[in-house]
Chains A and B, each alone.
Chain A
Amino acid sequence: MYGLGLLKGLLVTMKNLVFPSRMFTTHQYPDRKISPLGLSKLENKNIISFFVSNPSKFIRSLLGLISVDDKFPQSPRFRGQEFTWYEQRCTGCASCAKYCPLGIIKIVTSPSGESIPEGQKYSIDVFDIDIGRCMFCGLCVEACPYDALHMGSGFEEATYQRENLVIDIDRLKSAPKKPSTWFRPQLEEVGYDPKSGDEITWEQIGRHQRPSVSEQEDNWVNR
C-alpha cells in the first residue's frame, strides 16, 4: 500500500527524539554538559546523598552550567603539532631541513666558539618550523641522525594570525619534552603516554638497544 512510507519516516524521527543517546552522531567538544545523575555517578555517590552533600552543585548541573572534560582517547602515536626538540643532541646538520618535502624547516648555524678546532658541533641561531604548511609526515624525525627532533601530540593550536603558526627556536626550547611514540614504539612498552605522562629525557628515548651477538646470529645466521 502506498503512503505508509511517510508514516514509517515519522516513526524513525520520533525514535530519535525519544532515545537520542543510542544514535548521537555528533559529540560535544571539548567538554560536555553533565546532568546531576551523571555527576553523582562520576563522584561515586547516590544521587540523593549527592544532593544532600552539595546542593548548589546539584542545582547548577541541573541548569546545565557544569561541564566536564569529554575527549576521545588519543593514540600515543598521534603525530601532533608541537615538536619536541632535544637541544643538546642537535648538531645543526640540517638533515631535517633537507628531507622535509615541503621545505618548511629553516636552520641557520654558525661555528660555535668552543669547539671550532674539533668541528663537532655548530651553534644553532635559527630553527623555524612553519606548521601552517606542515603535513605531519614525520620525515624530519626519521631523518634526524641524532634523535634530536620528535613529533608532539597536540592538535588544538589554532591562532588568528598565520605568523603565529611558525614555531621558532625559543618555543622549541621551552616546549614540554613529551614526544609522540610514533617513531619510538618501544616507549609504549614501558607505559609512557604523551598526553598524561611525565616529561622524558633524551637518554630514555634513544633508539633500540643494540642487539647482542647471539640475537644477531639467531636473526641472520641460524634462521
Chain B
Amino acid sequence: MMCEQTQGILNFCRVHSIYEYILPDWLSSITYLITAITFGLIVINMIIMATALYTWFERRTLARFQSRLGPNRWGPFGLLQPIADVIKAITKEDTVPESADKIVFNLAPVLLLTTTLLVIIVIPLGPNSFMGSLNVGVIFIIGITSINTIAIFMGGWASRNKYAMFGAMRSVAMLITYEIPMGISIVGILLLSHSMALSEIVMSQKIPFFIVQPLGFFVFFAASMAEISRTPFDQIEAESELGAGFHTEYSGIKFAIITLAEFMAPIVSGIIITTLYLGGFKGPSFLPAEFWFLVKVFIVIFGMLWIRATWPRLRIDQIMGFAWKILFGLGLFNLFSIAIEIIILQDSITGIISTVDYWLMAGINWGFAIVLFFVITQMTGNKNKEYIKRSYEVNTIK
C-alpha cells in the first residue's frame, strides 16, 4: 500500500499492518477506517486521562503557590480527587432553564469539547505521528479554535440569563480580538518554515523559534492565554462579577463536560505552543521523542499555572486595549523585522538560512525585544500614573 512510515511509537502504518494481518479478508476494505477509529479512541482517552490528572495537578500546585493544601483526602496525596469530582457531577440533577433554547443549550458543551479535542489531530506527538503532516495544519488549528467562540456564545445565549449573556458577549469580543495578534505572530513562523504542515514546522526548527523571535513568542503566548481565558484574561467567567459567566445555568454532567473542556484547553494550548515555538518533539536522542515533547508541554503548562497563581485579573477594557494597542503592534513589528532579516540573510538561490544566521537573527530580535519592553512599560506606566493623578484630583472634595 501507500504506507511508508517506519519510525515513532504512534505509527499509523504499523498499526494498520497489524490489522491487515489479524482481520479476516472481507474486512480488508475498511482496515484504514478501523485503524483511524483506534487512533481516535487512543488520542481522546489519552487527552481525557491527562486532563483528569491535570485537574489534580493544577489544584494541588495552585494551593501550594498560595500557601494552602489543596485536595489531600481521597487517595494518596488526593490523587483520586478527579474520580470523586466526576461521580459528584454525574449524580447531580441536570437542570435546564424553562425559557432556555433547549437544543442549543444542550449542543454547546458538546461543541466546546469537540473543538478542543479536534486540535490534537494535526499535532505531531512524535516523528510521523498520524496527521501531523496535514498540509494546512496551522490554518486548521486557527479555524477550529475559532469555533470555540461560537460554542461559548451558544451556551451564553441559550441560557436566557443576563449574566451568562454578559460572559458570552465578553468572550466573543475578547476571543475575536485576540485572533488577530495570534495570526500575525504565526505568520512569522510560516516565513521561516516555508510550510503550514506542523511536522514540517518542527523539522525546520534548527534552534527553537522562541529564541529566534522572542516577540512573536510573547505575542502568541499572551494571545493563547486569552484564547483559553486563563487568569490574567479570565473576564469570560469573572467569578466575582458574573457568577460563572457563560456556564452559570449549566449543572450536572453538562457542567462536567464544560469543565473538562476548560481544563483541557491549557494542555492543548501548551501542545500548540510547544509545536510552534519550542521545537516540538526534538531533543537529545537518548530518550524517545515523545518524552521530550511531554517535558516541553509540561514546562509551558507550569508557566501558565505560575502566572495564574500570581497575577490578578484585568478589566475588560484593559484586556481589549492590551490586544489592540500593544500585542497588535508588537506582532506587526515582529513580522516586518523577520521578513526583512530573511530577505537579507537567506541564500539567494536555495532560500535556506544557515544555523549561524539563525543565531544572528536571534541576537537582533532579542535586542529589539528588550528595548521595546522598556519603552512600552515606561509609556503605559506613565500614562497610567497621569490617569490616576487626574482621577484623584477630580474625585477629591475641596
Interfacial residues, chain A to chain B (CB-CB below 8 A): 1-3, 6, 9-10, 12-14, 16-17, 20, 23-26, 28, 33, 63-65
Interface 1/0s, chain B 303-316, versus A by CB < 8 A?
A: 00011011100000
Partner of A13, one of B65, B76, B374: B65
Known contacts A16-B64, A28-B69; decide if A3 and B309 are in contact (CB<8 Å). Answer: no
The chain B residue with its CB closest to the CB of A9 is: B310
Partner of B373, one of A3, A12, A23, A26: A3
Show 10 A/B contacts (Cβ-Cβ < 8 Å), sorted by A: A2-B377, A3-B373, A3-B381, A13-B65, A13-B309, A13-B310, A16-B66, A16-B67, A24-B69, A64-B72
Inter-chain contact A20/B64, CB cutoff 8 Å: yes
Determine the chain A residues whose CB is within 8 A of the CB of B377 once the complex forms.
Answer: 1-3
The distance from the CB of B212 to the nearest CB of chain A, in whole angstroms, is 24
Determine the chain A residues whose CB is within 8 A of the CB of B374 once the complex forms.
Answer: 1
Inter-chain contact A16/B65, CB cutoff 8 Å: yes
Bound complex: CA of A72 vs CA of B69, how far in Å?
17
The distance from the CB of B204 to the nearest CB of chain A, in whole angstroms, is 32
Inter-chain contact A63/B311, CB cutoff 8 Å: no
Determine the chain B residues whose CB is within 8 A of the CB of A2 once the complex forms.
Answer: 377-378, 380-382
The distance from the CB of B368 to the nearest CB of chain A, in whole angstroms, is 17
Check if B77 is an interface residue, CB within 8 A of chain A: yes
Known contacts A16-B65, A17-B61, A26-B69; decide if A63 and B76 are in contact (CB<8 Å). Answer: yes
Check if B68 is an interface residue, CB within 8 A of chain A: yes
The chain B residue with its CB closest to the CB of A10 is: B310
Determine the chain A residues whose CB is within 8 A of the CB of B310 once the complex forms.
Answer: 6, 9-10, 12-13
Inter-chain contact A25/B68, CB cutoff 8 Å: yes
Bound complex: CA of A20 vs CA of B72, how far in Å?
15
Bound complex: CA of A23 vs CA of B382, how far in Å?
35
Determine the chain B residues whose CB is within 8 A of the CB of A1 once the complex forms.
Answer: 374, 377-378
Inter-chain contact A13/B306, CB cutoff 8 Å: yes
The chain B residue with its CB closest to the CB of A24 is: B67
Most A Cβ at <10 Å: residue of B65, B67, B378: B67
Determine the chain A residues whose CB is within 8 A of the CB of B382 once the complex forms.
Answer: 2
Determine the chain B residues whose CB is within 8 A of the CB of A65 once the complex forms.
Answer: 76
Partner of B306, one of A10, A24, A28, A63: A10
Determine the chain B residues whose CB is within 8 A of the CB of A9 once the complex forms.
Answer: 310-311
Bound complex: CA of A26 vs CA of B66, how far in Å?
10
Instruction: Enumerate the 8 nearest inter-chain pairs by beta-carbon distance, A residue then B residue, closest first.
Output: A2-B381, A64-B76, A3-B377, A63-B76, A2-B377, A13-B310, A13-B65, A9-B310
Partner of B66, one of A13, A14, A33: A13
Determine the chain A residues whose CB is within 8 A of the CB of B77 once the complex forms.
Answer: 33, 64
Interface 1/0s, chain B 300-331, versus A by CB < 8 A?
A: 00000011011100000000000000000000
Bound complex: CA of A25 vs CA of B68, how far in Å?
7
Partner of A28, one of B65, B72, B380: B72
Known contacts A3-B377, A16-B64, A16-B65; decide if A33 and B306 are in contact (CB<8 Å). Answer: no
